Amino acid sequence: MFYRFYLLVLFTLLSGCASTPKFDTSQVDRSLTPKSVIAEAEASRGKVALWGGTILDTRNLKDTTQIEVLAYPLNSSNQPMLESKPLGRFIIKHTGYLEPTSYAQGRDLTVLGSISGKQSAKVGETSYDYPVISDRQLHLWPLASDRSRTNVHFGIGVGVGL
């Protein structure tokens, strides 16, 4: 009886780990950061990067969607570590349409893609050079309120709903 219980608990815990996205990092240049790409934009063109951060803005253009992101270092699951110091800003160029309400300001994401250049724009009144990454894979992380909930509950008791 306890053997089955332990197997059920183990299966539940392992299935929770399965929600982590799988990125093919075999070609990723881990030395690339938004700042290093701006410093050497032409030398970085075509290299593969794995970056993440918090969405600042999403704009749908004629044939593409551009997502402005504030970059953060990634943890071992490739999720942005928001408690760390930001690494700069970058723009994701996605061919086609992405729903702006899904890719809304404040959402966290991770992108795997190739560096396609740089783009100048304004941040307030200041000119800013953004590295541009053309996405191969995007992963939106669950909202913070969803991350704090767990589907595994242990306990004995009686619940009363009012």
- Per-chain mean pLDDT for the chain: 86
Using the predicted structure, report yes or no on whether residue 86 has a pLDDT greater than 70: yes
Q: Which CATH number fits domain 26-142: 2.40.30.130, 3.40.50.620, 2.40.50.140, 3.30.420.40?
A: 2.40.50.140
| Per-residue pLDDT reduced to its tens digit, 135-156 | 999 999 998 765 544 545 455 5
pLDDT score for 19 = 64
Average pLDDT value for residue range 39-58: 96
Q: What is the DSSP string of the chain?
A: -HHHHHHHHHHHHHHHHTTS-----TTB-TT--HHHHHHTHHHHTT-EEEEEEEEEEEEE-SSEEEEEEEEE-B-TTS-B-TTSPP-EEEEEEEES---TTTS-TT-EEEEEEEEEEEEEEEETTEEEEEEEEEEEEEEEPPPHHHHT--S-----------
Q: What is the pLDDT of residues 90-128, one digit of tens each?
A: 999 999 999 999 999 999 999 999 999 999 998 899 999
Is the pLDDT score of 14 beyond 50? Answer: no
